[in-house]
Chain A
Amino acid sequence: MKDAVAQFPSASNLALAARREIIGMTSAAKASHVASALSVIDILSVLYTGAANISPANKERENRDIVILSKGHAASALYSVLALQGFFPTEWLNKYCQNNSPLGGHVTFKGVPGVELSTGSLGHGLPYGLGIAMARKLTGIQGRVFVIMSDGECDEGTTWESAMIANHHKLDNLVIIVDRNRIQSLTFTEDTLKLEPFADKWKAFGWETRTIDGHDHISIERAVTKSNLPVCIIAETTKGKGIDFMENSVLWHYKSPSDIDVKNALSQLENNRDA
């Protein structure tokens, strides 16, 4: 465990290892949201391998970068990355969702090193992150705030209230990354409540908007460079990314992988790695 960082020096190795953990965790716990976790895992892997200034060594420091996973249902993704990067023992992942486990089905902060905010009810992470960014501006504390949201989450009014406030107060230390996988709870986002023209909306609210491939690690790393405006990165992603039978399917927002699913999924990850 102590060699976790050395063992997984690159974002791509971390993402691969985390994908394995996510599949194992959601299967063992009979938990939902495996596809949501696979969708966001590349973003988290890039942030936690250096794109964000956050590590087990500086996690208590006042000027660290803050990462908030507002789409708290992708908890297995955040927990995997934190464990693999050495914030807490990887053995904890085996107890995901079990009685008295610190790791709940939605992101839980208490007793989990590296977690900044308990989430699970959508639309909370951005106002909270906005508050931290605002306090830092007012008191001259460095360090940026990254809030990772789901696209469906942008239905919440707090998103657009926050968008106005961040612009008004010129919070250039605030970065949103929207996991734009285009699927929400019951169906596709554009069939539920149209978000498009999504980037234009953020621009109109005064944000610098960067649209990228949310699975391309180099693009993600480039997209989080600083700006003099609040930044919204629209990360175009595929729900269930990496496991063909989970990709782009509403079913896998809920379904927990069976033993056969796990076997197939892990062999796919292995084959793609070799390819």
Chain B
Amino acid sequence: MRDTFIETLLEEAKINTNIFLITGDLGFGVLDKFQKELPDQFINSGVNEQTMMGMAAGIASTGKRVFVYSIGNFATLRCLEQIRNDVCLMDNSVVVVSVGAGYAYGPQGYTHHALEDIAVIRALPNIEVVVPSDPLEASQITKLLAQGSFPSYLRLGKSNEETISRKDLITQLGKVNEIISGENGTILFVGSIGKVALEAASLLLNKGISVSVASVPFISRQDTDYLVKSAKKGPIVTVEEHAIRGGFGSSVLEFLNKENVAALVGIIAAEQNNLSQIGSQEFLRISNGIDASRIAAKFLALAGDSNQK
């Protein structure tokens, strides 16, 4: 996903010389081509995320579109106030880009697990939170962001994610990207966990329950029609590789509350019972409660409740 991002950004930056890419000394083997081809639009700031983010905002204030690239927590939590004051408040044209969403850096330990970034950035005003689910969405969304000027947070996975989304172009912010459609309910997911959501849908289908599965790349602005329709259709289970506190599932609950829509919503998110646990992305997902069987079980529990009513 990060390779697709950088390839797309390079193409856009060749056309629009106002696009800048700043890295906090990360991206070995990933950013080289951009640096080589567009050295005047590339800055390696060094290991200094707070100053890097303030600097990015300053550069953006001169009319540039500035992408700031680092690993999950370093691009977000480490420089949160710079994002809040210098980017959001000043309405500067900065795209904060983080790589390694969720447990993508699993064996590297908790310092490298990005599990609170959506909640934290989502709490800020005036910033678009965007999470592509696969390389295809990453490419389309990068193009949209490169051509925009609004403050944004782009949360990327790492590498080797399979493409699962449909070939429909994402041409506007806020649209849900439905992968399969079903009659009895909906699984909504963010990020590279889509494959697991689809497995859960298969498990449900085996029990004669057909559900829609959709990627929700735009977290800070919801697709009203789709969510209201889903809430009326049946249970909704949200899936994210992120903490439950303030994450994607919370955002769906907030949205439905705002719209005064009654709905059955279940949230599957990282349980974080052992912060020091080491392991592969797949291992950590499962040991933190994110797998197909638990998504299916959550759905069935909600559906059972709904039958009783």
B-binding residues in A (CB < 8 A): 62, 109, 116-118, 121, 123-124, 126-136, 138-139, 141, 157-158, 161-162, 164-165, 168
Q: What are 9 contact pairs spanning A and B, CB under 8 A?
A: A123-B50, A127-B82, A128-B58, A128-B86, A131-B56, A134-B59, A139-B62, A158-B51, A164-B46
A134 touches B85 (CB 8 A): no
Give the distance to chain B from A158, nearest Cβ to Cβ, in Å.
5
Residue of B40, B48, B85 near A165 (CB, 8 A) is B48
A-binding residues in B (CB < 8 A): 20, 40, 43, 45-46, 48, 50-62, 64, 81-82, 85-86, 89-90
Cβ-closest chain A residue relative to B58: A131
Tell me which of A109, A127, A139, A165 has the highest count of chain B C-beta atoms within 10 A of its own C-beta.
A127
B61 touches A165 (CB 8 A): no
Give the distance to chain A from B144, nearest Cβ to Cβ, in Å.
24
Measured between beta carbons, the chain B residues less than 8 angstroms from A161 are: 46, 48, 50-51
Measured between beta carbons, the chain B residues less than 8 angstroms from A116 are: 61
- Given A141-B62, A157-B50, the answer on whether A130 and B55 have CB atoms closer than 8 Å is yes
Once bound together, how far apart are the Cα atoms of A123 and B55, in whole Å?
12
Give the distance to chain B from A132, nearest Cβ to Cβ, in Å.
4
A124 touches B40 (CB 8 A): no
- Given A132-B59, A135-B62, A165-B48, the answer on whether A124 and B54 have CB atoms closer than 8 Å is yes
Give the distance to chain A from B242, nearest Cβ to Cβ, in Å.
27
Cβ-closest chain B residue relative to A163: B51
- Given A128-B54, A134-B43, A165-B45, the answer on whether A121 and B62 have CB atoms closer than 8 Å is no
Measured between beta carbons, the chain A residues less than 8 angstroms from B52 are: 127
Once bound together, how far apart are the Cα atoms of A127 and B62, in whole Å?
14
Measured between beta carbons, the chain B residues less than 8 angstroms from A134 are: 43, 55, 58-59
A-B contact count (CB 8 A): 86
Tell me which of B57, B60, B62, B85 has the highest count of chain A C-beta atoms within 10 A of its own C-beta.
B62
Residue of B50, B60, B89 near A127 (CB, 8 A) is B50
Once bound together, how far apart are the Cα atoms of A134 and B50, in whole Å?
16
Measured between beta carbons, the chain B residues less than 8 angstroms from A138 are: 40
Cβ-closest chain A residue relative to B17: A139
Give the distance to chain A from B47, nearest Cβ to Cβ, in Å.
9
B90 touches A117 (CB 8 A): yes
Once bound together, how far apart are the Cα atoms of A195 and B68, in whole Å?
32
B50 touches A132 (CB 8 A): no
Measured between beta carbons, the chain B residues less than 8 angstroms from A126 are: 51, 54
B61 touches A132 (CB 8 A): yes
Once bound together, how far apart are the Cα atoms of A161 and B43, in whole Å?
15
B53 touches A109 (CB 8 A): no
Once bound together, how far apart are the Cα atoms of A130 and B55, in whole Å?
6
Residue of A130, A133, A139 near B54 (CB, 8 A) is A130
A158 touches B54 (CB 8 A): yes
Measured between beta carbons, the chain B residues less than 8 angstroms from A123 are: 50
Once bound together, how far apart are the Cα atoms of A131 and B62, in whole Å?
9
Measured between beta carbons, the chain A residues less than 8 angstroms from B62 are: 62, 131-132, 135-136, 139, 141
Once bound together, how far apart are the Cα atoms of A228 and B241, in whole Å?
50
Once bound together, how far apart are the Cα atoms of A123 and B50, in whole Å?
9
Pick the 8 closest A-B CB pairs, nearest first: A131-B58, A127-B54, A131-B55, A161-B51, A161-B48, A128-B58, A135-B62, A131-B59
B45 touches A124 (CB 8 A): no
- Given A117-B90, A118-B90, A121-B85, the answer on whether A128 and B46 have CB atoms closer than 8 Å is no
Once bound together, how far apart are the Cα atoms of A100 and B82, in whole Å?
25
Measured between beta carbons, the chain A residues less than 8 angstroms from B40 are: 138
Measured between beta carbons, the chain B residues less than 8 angstroms from A131 are: 54-62
Measured between beta carbons, the chain A residues less than 8 angstroms from B53 are: 127
Measured between beta carbons, the chain A residues less than 8 angstroms from B64 are: 135
Once bound together, how far apart are the Cα atoms of A130 and B48, in whole Å?
13
Once bound together, how far apart are the Cα atoms of A157 and B59, in whole Å?
20
Measured between beta carbons, the chain A residues less than 8 angstroms from B59 are: 131-132, 134-135
Measured between beta carbons, the chain A residues less than 8 angstroms from B81 are: 121, 124
B51 touches A162 (CB 8 A): yes
A135 touches B48 (CB 8 A): no
Measured between beta carbons, the chain B residues less than 8 angstroms from A135 are: 20, 58-59, 62, 64
A118 touches B55 (CB 8 A): no
Residue of A109, A164, A165 near B90 (CB, 8 A) is A109
Measured between beta carbons, the chain A residues less than 8 angstroms from B54 are: 124, 126-128, 130-131, 158
